């Protein structure tokens, strides 16, 4: 596998190549890797299983040390592919607090921020509208 990022590369069983793909990916592809599962109620309501996580979303941690805890997303770091959640902090030896980075695949969106109207546009409605315009 070459050093440069290639969109033609499909897949590999080797974890080192998968990691390299994620690490060398440009930001527009890393942003797509930040898709997060929706809760059952939200997925039925919006007819989609996954959406991109944004700051302001309320999430539940599903894996790891902080499993079961809930909080609001403060910062989404696209470059490092991690989230920082309110209330998930670690205390350092000097007594200060630091936010813990959590990978997007380990969380589930409970309540999505609906500031943007285009975030939950239904794909079936778009297809129907496009079909009507062409006739």
- Of the candidates 105, 6, 125, the residue with the CA atom closest to the CA atom of residue 52: 105
Mean pLDDT lowest among 5-9, 28-32, 61-65, 88-92: 5-9
* Diameter of the chain measured on Cα atoms: 69
The phi, psi pair for 56, rounded to 5°, reads 105, -15
pTM of the model: 0.77
Domain boundaries, the chain: 15-134
Q: Which two tokens stand for residue 97?
A: 């607090």
Does the domain at residues 15-134 carry the CATH identifier 2.30.30.30? yes
Compute the average pLDDT of residues 62-76. 94
Q: What is the pLDDT of residues 19-65, one digit of tens each?
A: 888 888 899 989 988 999 999 998 898 888 998 999 999 999 999 99
């Amino acid at each position: 596998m070459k050093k440069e990022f290639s969109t033609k590369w499909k897949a590999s069983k080797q974890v080192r190549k998968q990691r390299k793909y994620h690490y060398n990916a440009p930001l527009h592809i890393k942003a797509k890797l930040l898709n997060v599962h929706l809760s059952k109620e939200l997925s039925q309501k919006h007819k989609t299983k996954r959406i991109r996580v944004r700051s302001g979303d309320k999430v539940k941690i599903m894996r790891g040390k902080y499993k079961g805890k809930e909080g609001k997303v403060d910062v989404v770091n696209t470059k490092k592919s991690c989230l920082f959640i309110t209330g998930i902090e670690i205390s350092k030896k000097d007594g200060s607090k630091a936010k813990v980075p959590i990978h997007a695949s380990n969380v589930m969106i409970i309540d999505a921020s609906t500031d943007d109207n285009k975030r939950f546009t239904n794909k079936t409605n778009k297809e129907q509208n496009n079909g009507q315009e062409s006739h």
